[in-house]
Chains A and B, each alone.
Chain A
Amino acid sequence: NAGVTQTPKFRVLKTGQSMTLLCAQDMNHEYMYWYRQDPGMGLRLIHYSVGEGTTAKGEVPDGYNVSRLKKQNFLLGLESAAPSQTSVYFCASSYFLGLAGGPSSYNEQFFGPGTRLTVL
């Protein structure tokens, strides 16, 4: 299993350009997440999805859109990139959280390697 993969690994954009970050997981997880990590700010949740066709806002959703058309993929879009969106973006996935009492490894979040984005 590849686990959680992210494409691309690095990207440099100019202000106003658009791009899409792709996250893919092969663990049949229901839940998927997009975070950004900035120095001194920790990891902040941008958007998340509790299943195919669903999305929900996290802590810092402005300037981003997401789609979950297939269970294994979660896309993060920047329609008009701004320098404030320079960051490292992480995708994560986990099993459905409703199954209390499951194995100890249930509901763990598994992370991708990250995408380093610079907006000039």
Chain B
Amino acid sequence: KQEVTQIPAALSVPEGENLVLNCSFTDSAIYNLQWFRQDPGKGLTSLLLIQSSQREQTSGRLNASLDKSSGRSTLYIAASQPGDSATYLCAGITNAGKSTFGDGTTLTVKP
């Protein structure tokens, strides 16, 4: 059974700092790894999708990497801003279409 763990559970940083969020998964047979952002009381917004054949994806100040052999993915946020404050979730998706989510990392960026 796939298990996805996100560390840390919560993180507070001053504005402008670069930071890394971690996601680890137990089953390396994932097809995709997707990172989401969730604001309080809202739905999930897709940030980045890494397919199994890729090692990283970039979008603006965000960079996500995937290492299937070690069962890890990281989300790097450069020059953090207060607007980045949210919960960040990762999800591993198998080629059968099933997905497993981590519990998320709640990020607070202080002005």
With A and B bound together, what is the CA distance between A64 and B62 in angstroms? 37
Q: How many A-B residue pairs have CB under 8 A?
A: 70
Besides A43-B101, A101-B53, A109-B99, 12 more A-B contacts (Cβ < 8 Å) are A31-B97, A40-B103, A43-B44, A43-B91, A45-B99, A50-B97, A107-B51, A107-B93, A109-B34, A109-B46, A111-B36, A111-B43
Cβ–Cβ < 8 Å partners of A94 in chain B: 97
Q: Is the beta-carbon distance between B43 and A104 smaller than 8 angstroms?
A: no
- Where chain A touches its partner, the secondary structure class is loop
Size bracket, chain A contacts? 20 to 34
Interface size class of chain B, counting residues whose CB lies under 8 Å from the partner chain? 20 to 34
Is A48's CB within 8 Å of the partner chain B? yes
Bound-state Cα–Cα, A120 to B45, Å: 30
